[in-house]
Chains A and B, each alone.
Chain A
Amino acid sequence: MFFEIISNKPTMSGELQKVCTLNGHKNIVWCVAWHPNGKILASSSADCTVRIWAQEGNDWVCKTVLEGFHRRTVRSVAFSPCGRYLASAGFDLTTNIYKWQDDLSKFESVFIQYATFALSFEFELMANVEGHENEVKCCAWSSCGRFLATCGRDKTVWIWELDEEDEFQCLEVMMSHKQDVKSVQWHPSEEILASTSYDNSIQLYSFDGEEWNVQQSLEEHTSTVWSLSFNGLGNYFCTCSDDRTVKIWKRTSEEKTAKWQCVCNLNGYHDRPIFDIDWCSKLDLIATACGDNNIRLFQSKSEHDEDNFQLIQKIDNAHNADVNGIAWNPVKTGLLASCSDDRTVSLWQCVL
């Protein structure tokens, strides 16, 4: 035990095991997102709702259903880094931002006691940002919580800023993609945004204090790039694509404007499109959600060979249909959430 505290980088020794299956959605589930405290999970679905799940004792239960806010599929959800706001993006062209109504001091003290019984799960619609001309595909908060990015089928990426009065201003509309933009992700500590698209490219944008500019366009995938995830330090990211490959990209230097290059191409592991990918910052494990119903885990071979990744586990038939989304818990080491076309959300635990 003492040893574990000193070496704060745990390694995975055992397998990924199923903790539970969460039923409730009435249609396919597209996205799962953890609250920054790691005890609450949000999921979004084609049934036009967002469900909020929390742990009570050993069980995970649905605490609230946000319904009536979207008229079509809710494609993506994300909690802000402070944990007070939840954003949801839908095919009905809008992005909604909800504010958690419980007061923050109570919120913090309750979590110290590891219980969610005492909380009220009331979310109020705080803002509704509109502007996309077509389906909104993804939303993401920057690490500082100041910016919200959204992207959509109208080929654009929008960056919104949250001011002190809880209002959103559009800062920039990026139109550098030639096709449907599938996802947006922020760098874990810097003001760098990455987007992936149906035009097979990945674009990186950086903030110079006034404007957002395209810093680099990466065009090595041969089909739609579905998703992207940075590692904890922010010097690597991984992408997954319809071309059945996963690519690992590395920053060439420490500078903010440094270029990224592909250092590893994981080919031949997936049989169907890979819809989502998430890099666990605690375990340095990459999990992929694939259209062949399986979840796969990849890890670098050793510390000396950190650009070389290999498959370490494949969970056959993790779900009964396509796996659409995957997310590592930000607090609890090795806890993974996944969601699927089979209308369920599943939780998995790595044996450490």
Chain B
Amino acid sequence: MLREHLLNLKIHFIYIVVVKFEFNFLPEKESIVFQSVAVMMLQRRLDNAAPTVYEKRNARRQTTEQQQMDFSVHDPIDAMEIFDLIRDIKDPEHPFTLEELNVVSLENIEVEDKGVGRVVVHFTPTIPHCSMAVIIGLCIRTKLSHSLPRRFKIDVQLTPGSHDMDAQLSKQLADKERVAAALERPEIFQSVISCIYN
């Protein structure tokens, strides 16, 4: 019971952070508004109380040791590898992974590992008004930039039509200056890191 309560508190805290980040307001002087939003959040239920949980895809077929040692074979990074990197990121609200909620799928990953290299990931929030969409996007982006060689250009976008504000949110996730500013905020960084490495 206590554990559940604490979990809820954490979720609400993240939610408030997201409200601040997404809507670009709620400075200190509007603290009354801020507090009432916070109270509202504390009373509210989860965005999507009963999400559909999907089956996990089989893990990647392992190469033999001999194959791995053969350096003459060029082994480009492929969509499956990208999928393996992001499938186990935790949803900020639920105790499920992004794969289990079908937020990310192998079909929505494009990779081109020639020259500089480019990765495009489209993700689908569980519901069209999901308030966690930006945090999920930041998690995917951060995980990929931590894991891939630095040369890669990473684009994380919402699947078109998957969210009420998909164009606005995708524009925000594509703006590296705003992403950098968001990740500098300790509360956002903490929630992103705890989703990735939980």
Show the binding face of A for B, using Cβ within 8 Å.
28, 46, 72-73, 75, 91, 133-135, 137, 153-155, 180, 182, 198, 223-224, 242, 272-273, 291-293, 320-322, 342
For B171, list chain A residues within 8 Å (CB): 198, 223-224
A242 & B174 in contact (Cβ 8 Å cutoff): yes
Q: In the complex, A334 Cα to B23 Cα: how many Å? A: 43
Known: A73-B184, A133-B27, A342-B150. 20 other contacts (CB 8 A): A73-B180, A134-B24, A135-B181, A137-B177, A180-B24, A182-B177, A224-B171, A224-B175, A242-B174, A242-B175, A272-B153, A273-B176, A291-B153, A292-B153, A293-B116, A320-B150, A320-B151, A321-B150, A321-B151, A322-B176
For A293, list chain B residues within 8 Å (CB): 116
Minimum CB–CB distance from B69 to chain A (whole Å) comes to 29
For B181, list chain A residues within 8 Å (CB): 73, 91, 135, 153
B175 & A91 in contact (Cβ 8 Å cutoff): no
Counting CB contacts under 8 A, is B10 at the interface?
no
Report how many A-B pairs have Cβ atoms within 8 Å. 43
Q: In the complex, A107 Cα to B27 Cα: how many Å? A: 44
Q: In the complex, A28 Cα to B183 Cα: how many Å? A: 14
A180 & B184 in contact (Cβ 8 Å cutoff): no
List the 10 closest A-B pairs by CB distance, nearest first: A133-B27, A135-B181, A91-B181, A72-B184, A91-B184, A73-B184, A321-B150, A224-B175, A73-B180, A46-B180
Q: In the complex, A154 Cα to B20 Cα: how many Å? A: 12
For B178, list chain A residues within 8 Å (CB): 153, 180
Q: In the complex, A153 Cα to B180 Cα: how many Å? A: 13
For B116, list chain A residues within 8 Å (CB): 292-293
For B177, list chain A residues within 8 Å (CB): 75, 137, 182
By DSSP majority rule, is chain A's interface helix, strand, loop, or mixed? loop
For B27, list chain A residues within 8 Å (CB): 133
Question: CB within 8 Å of A: which of B163-198?
Answer: 171, 174-178, 180-181, 184
**Please, how many residues of chain B have a CB less than 8 angstroms from a CB on the other chain?**
15
Q: In the complex, A293 Cα to B171 Cα: how many Å? A: 21
For A320, list chain B residues within 8 Å (CB): 150-151
Minimum CB–CB distance from B16 to chain A (whole Å) comes to 17
For A46, list chain B residues within 8 Å (CB): 180, 184
26 contacts between A and B (CB under 8 A): A28-B180, A46-B180, A46-B184, A72-B184, A73-B180, A75-B177, A91-B181, A91-B184, A153-B178, A153-B181, A180-B178, A223-B171, A224-B171, A224-B175, A242-B174, A242-B175, A272-B153, A273-B176, A291-B153, A291-B176, A292-B116, A292-B153, A293-B116, A320-B151, A321-B151, A342-B150
Minimum CB–CB distance from A114 to chain B (whole Å) comes to 37
Closest B residue to A154 using CB positions: B24
For B151, list chain A residues within 8 Å (CB): 320-321
Closest B residue to A291 using CB positions: B153
Minimum CB–CB distance from A219 to chain B (whole Å) comes to 16
For B153, list chain A residues within 8 Å (CB): 272, 291-292
Assess A198 versus B150: contact at CB under 8 Å? Given A91-B181, A153-B24.
no
Minimum CB–CB distance from A76 to chain B (whole Å) comes to 11
For B180, list chain A residues within 8 Å (CB): 28, 46, 73
Minimum CB–CB distance from A71 to chain B (whole Å) comes to 10
For A291, list chain B residues within 8 Å (CB): 153, 176
Minimum CB–CB distance from A306 to chain B (whole Å) comes to 33
For B184, list chain A residues within 8 Å (CB): 46, 72-73, 91
Q: In the complex, A217 Cα to B171 Cα: how many Å? A: 22
Question: What string of 1s and 0s marks CB contacts (under 8 Å) between B147-162 and chain A?
Answer: 0001101000000000
Closest A residue to B115 using CB positions: A317
Q: In the complex, A73 Cα to B180 Cα: how many Å? A: 9
For A155, list chain B residues within 8 Å (CB): 24
Question: CB within 8 Å of A: which of B20-77?
Answer: 24, 27
Minimum CB–CB distance from A295 to chain B (whole Å) comes to 15
Q: In the complex, A204 Cα to B86 Cα: how many Å? A: 44
Closest B residue to A133 using CB positions: B27
